[in-house]
Amino acid sequence: MIGWLSGCAKESTVNDGPNISEAQALARVEELIRTALTGVTPTPGLDLDPTSLADHPCIPNDGNILTEDIYVIRVYYLTGIPKERLVQEVRKIQANWEKAGHKITNTYAFDQGKLQLSGRTGDDFRLALDTVDRNSTLQILFSVGSPCFHPDKPSSTASP
């Protein structure tokens, strides 16, 4: 799932990306997460996937050469939501996203209990959600990522 999430953000490198700083991109990601999770009950625990804290270099659509552009993403396991409430709470996340004026671009397998959805904002930030079996518990894996942008300083993963 993580590869799919990061792949979504990389697709936005068709142009120079937005003129935002890393701090602005991260603040927007965090705001979108808070908005999407408003009213989810019980209030989920946010178990951060530490790999989402790393620098994420953007790869052009042709995949040949890394650019100096990066994107930020935050990936969380939403803990504490009972299995029998997963569909209801994912629908609430979907409704919150749409109520905020953003688009849901895909939903999958809601009727089978294997919930997946993705979405996008007008400024190209992306949401991805999947249900995963983690520690023998069905949980929601939730992420929001930014479009690619040129960082204020070179990324630690950029070539010297």
Give CB contacts under 8 A, 24+ apart, made by 64-67.
Answer: 66/158, 66/159, 67/13, 67/148
Report residue 100 CA to chain centroid gap.
16
CA separation for the pair 123, 109 (Å, rounded): 27
Give SS3 for 77: strand
Q: What is the pLDDT of residues 74-93, one digit of tens each?
A: 999 999 999 899 989 999 99
> For position 113, what pLDDT does the model report?
67
Residue 115's pLDDT band (cuts 50, 70, 90):
confident
Q: What is the pLDDT of residues 116-158, one digit of tens each?
A: 999 999 999 999 999 998 888 889 999 999 999 988 754 444 4
CA separation for the pair 160, 108 (Å, rounded): 42
Start-to-end CA distance of the chain, whole Å, equals: 31
Give the residue with greater pLDDT, 130 vs 15: 130
Mean pLDDT, residues 59-73:
79
Give the residue with greater pLDDT, 8 vs 57: 57
CA-based angle 46:71:158, to the nearest 5?
A: 125
Element (H, E) at 32: helix 22-37
Q: What is the pTM of this model?
A: 0.81
Residue 16's pLDDT band (cuts 50, 70, 90):
low
122-153 b/e with 16+ CB inside 10 Å = b? eebbbbbbbbeeeeeeebbbbbbbbbbbbbee
Give the residue with greater pLDDT, 86 vs 11: 86
What backbone torsions phi and psi does residue 81 show, to the nearest 5 degrees? -95, 120
Share of the chain above pLDDT 70, in %: 79
Mean pLDDT, residues 37-51:
95
